[in-house]
Structure 1
Amino acid sequence: MSRAFLYVMTMACVTLMPLAASAAQLCHSYWPKPSTPINRFVNNEDGTISDSATGLIWKRCSEGLSGSTCENGAPEIFTWQEALQSAVNSSFAGKNDWRLPNIKELGSIVERQCSMPAINEIVFPATPTMSFWSSSPFAENKNFAWNIYFPYGISDGNDKNYKFFVRLVRGGK
């Protein structure tokens, strides 16, 4: 991807951010079945969610948010290095093995039936409708890392200096 294309796409996203933030989630039933059905997840009642399909344990709220429905605080944005460091510094729910998910793990919580955001909002409430970092570097450019643009669940590589949202994870199969 050219830098010019990425710049244009980033500027489009920044320009549309207020519009995206105010839009309501849209879900469609034309997919054969939900990609993240509610029965796949267990609310551990400590701010974490267990995923029976992957064995992962997710923080229910994006970094910066808290509460049973992620109603407290404000979502925080991080550069890629800051995102990696936020995981190292986390001791949420009495655990200190939190990490930034790789791109495959982050993609496992994308709900293909929905957009704005493309996530199961019952399981992961108040998810910001923008990009989230993964821990996966982008092979084609050492200055880029993979992220998922949650308005539509699209994965993409972006400059590690951009500031995106973070959802931490632990465990796995």
Structure 2
Amino acid sequence: MKKLVAFLTLFIMSLGISNAEITKEELVLSHFKDRFEKLGLPSALKGEEYKRVLDEYESSKPNALWKNDEYEKLASLRWKYCKKGLYEACQRLGEQYMLGVGVERDLTLASELMAYNQLNSEYEYLKLRSSEMVGLGSEIYENKLNSEDALRVVRSMLVEFLEKCGEEKTDKPYCLAFFMLSDVVPNHLTKTSKGILAVDVAWGLMLDDKFAPQLASAIKYYNAVWSYKSSSANENLPNQSSSKKSGEFSRDDSKGVVIDSTYKLMWEDGTNIFNGTWDETKRHCQNLNFAGFSDWRLPTRFELLSITDDSRYNPATYKVFKNTKPTPYWTSTKSANNSREAFFVNFDLGTGGWFDVSAPTSVRCVRDY
């Protein structure tokens, strides 16, 4: 909050608003409450309505607009959802205004939009992102950088962060900083000679166990986003409100299986872990004859997420499972919006996401017990 207050107060003072009788925090909150109303921003979305609108927003494919350099269309989309109370849309729109990407640069408006996210978001990653971008905006403002110079400086920072991300001995979150900036700097300024975009490199970091601790807040946030995404309606959904405890599992070492007495499932847990595309792993489970049973299948995303243990890392599953790689595992859940994507659970942190079905990934088969 301190960095937010310090930066935003500059703008408030520049407008001639000053009062020694009140604190900077009170000044900021009072000013921005009024500004949010003038911008047509409602109370931020919460609960199920937030999830519904976020799913609707993501289904409009803002990431595809970014990768296709359709920045004006992206700004229009973000304005639409920002004015519905979706705070991450406001944050990302503020970043566009900060650098003038697809819009006319406006640092005051940028600060107001990012403040809306900072003051309303329930996610650590979004608050952290807002704080860092506000700090960046403060530097641009204080150094009176024009749009061209600001883009040059931010691109230089992006390159520096990626170089330092790979350094083993640094304890600073350069990888997370690179991840945040990767989809802020326009693609034509980040594309390599081989056509690789910074945003592609950034998402590659998400799949590398070495960088997982730095990116934990981002991984948790995107896992939540992906979990709201529309999926197959005919899934066998376990009760997600149940509190999962290791005592609900039992292991049969002689057969290499784990039995879940809560959801009535039997899990394959042998030493041979199959790896393949989504289609290959689906066929593997359907054809599997293991522990005396032949009715194995791919687990749904909720079934596979139910065996993750948030208190453990590498692998993030209950100790009763003895053979788990800290890598992504396929589920049977395919995206309702993209037939080329299926849901995976990564057992490094126990989080999940969407992969292209052609990606080689591990599998843990399950059967009804």
Q: What's the offset of the Cα at 1:36?
A: 4.6
The residue that corresponds to 2:310 in the other structure is: 112
Over residues 107-141 of structure 1, what are the superposed CA-to-partner deviations in whole Å (9 max), with x where a residue is unaligned? 11011111222101x21123111100000101221
Partners of 2:285 and 2:205 in 1: how far apart? 29
Between Structure 1 and Structure 2, the one with more strand by share is 1
Partners of 2:290 and 2:306 in 1: how far apart? 22
Over residues 38-64 of structure 1, what are the superposed CA-to-partner deviations in whole Å (9 max), with x where a residue is unaligned? 321111231111101110000123xxx
2:268 is the alignment partner of 1:59: yes
The residue that corresponds to 2:364 in the other structure is: 167
Q: Does the residue aligned with 2:320 lie in a helix, a strand or coil?
A: coil
Structure 1 window deviating more from structure 2 (158-167 vs 148-157): it is 148-157
- The equivalent position to 1:140 in structure 2, one of 321, 329, 337, is 337
The residue that corresponds to 2:251 in the other structure is: 43
Any gaps of 5 or more consecutive residues in structure 1? 21-34, 67-74
Partners of 1:128 and 1:137 in 2: how far apart? 22
The residue that corresponds to 1:100 in the other structure is: 298
Partners of 1:124 and 1:8 in 2: how far apart? 32
Contact in 2 for aligned 1:98/1:169 (Cα 8 Å): yes
Contact in 1 for aligned 2:274/2:281 (Cα 8 Å): no
Distance 1:150-1:9 versus aligned 2 partners, 3 A rule? farther
The residue that corresponds to 1:30 in the other structure is: none
Greater relative contact order, per chain length (Cα 8 Å cut-off, separation 6+): 1
Partners of 2:203 and 2:358 in 1: how far apart? 12
Any gaps of 5 or more consecutive residues in structure 2? 1-60, 68-182, 184-198, 212-242
Q: Which amino acid aligns with 2:330?
A: W
Q: Which amino acid aligns with 2:343?
A: W
Contact in 1 for aligned 2:251/2:258 (Cα 8 Å): yes
Q: Does the residue aligned with 1:141 lie in a helix, a strand or coil?
A: coil
Between Structure 1 and Structure 2, the one with more helix by share is 2
Q: Does the residue aligned with 2:291 lie in a helix, a strand or coil?
A: helix
Contact in 2 for aligned 1:60/1:123 (Cα 8 Å): no
Partners of 2:363 and 2:268 in 1: how far apart? 10
Q: Give the aligned length.
A: 144
Q: Which amino acid aligns with 2:288?
A: S
Q: What's the offset of the Cα at 1:169?
A: 0.3
The residue that corresponds to 2:326 in the other structure is: 129
The residue that corresponds to 2:201 in the other structure is: 8
Distance 1:47-1:80 versus aligned 2 partners, 3 A rule? same
Q: Which amino acid aligns with 2:247?
A: N
Q: Does the residue aligned with 2:302 lie in a helix, a strand or coil?
A: helix
Q: Which amino acid aligns with 1:43?
A: R
Q: Which amino acid aligns with 1:123?
A: V
Q: Which amino acid aligns with 2:312?
A: C
The residue that corresponds to 2:346 in the other structure is: 149
Q: Does the residue aligned with 1:8 lie in a helix, a strand or coil?
A: helix
Q: What's the offset of the Cα at 1:12?
A: 1.6
Query: TM-score, normalised on structure 1?
Result: 0.74
Q: Which amino acid aligns with 1:41?
A: F
Runs of 4 or more consecutive aligned structure 1 residues displaced over 6 Å after TM superposition: none
Q: Which amino acid aligns with 1:100?
A: L
Structure number with bigger Rg: 2
Q: Which amino acid aligns with 1:113?
A: S
Over residues 12-47 of structure 1, what are the superposed CA-to-partner deviations in whole Å (9 max), with x where a residue is unaligned? 256x35x48xxxxxxxxxxxxxx6533211112311
Contact in 2 for aligned 1:115/1:152 (Cα 8 Å): yes
Q: What's the offset of the Cα at 1:9?
A: 4.9
Percent identical across equivalent pairs? 28
Q: What's the offset of the Cα at 1:11?
A: 2.3
Distance 1:134-1:165 versus aligned 2 partners, 3 A rule? same
Query: TM-score, normalised on structure 2?
Result: 0.36
The residue that corresponds to 1:27 in the other structure is: none
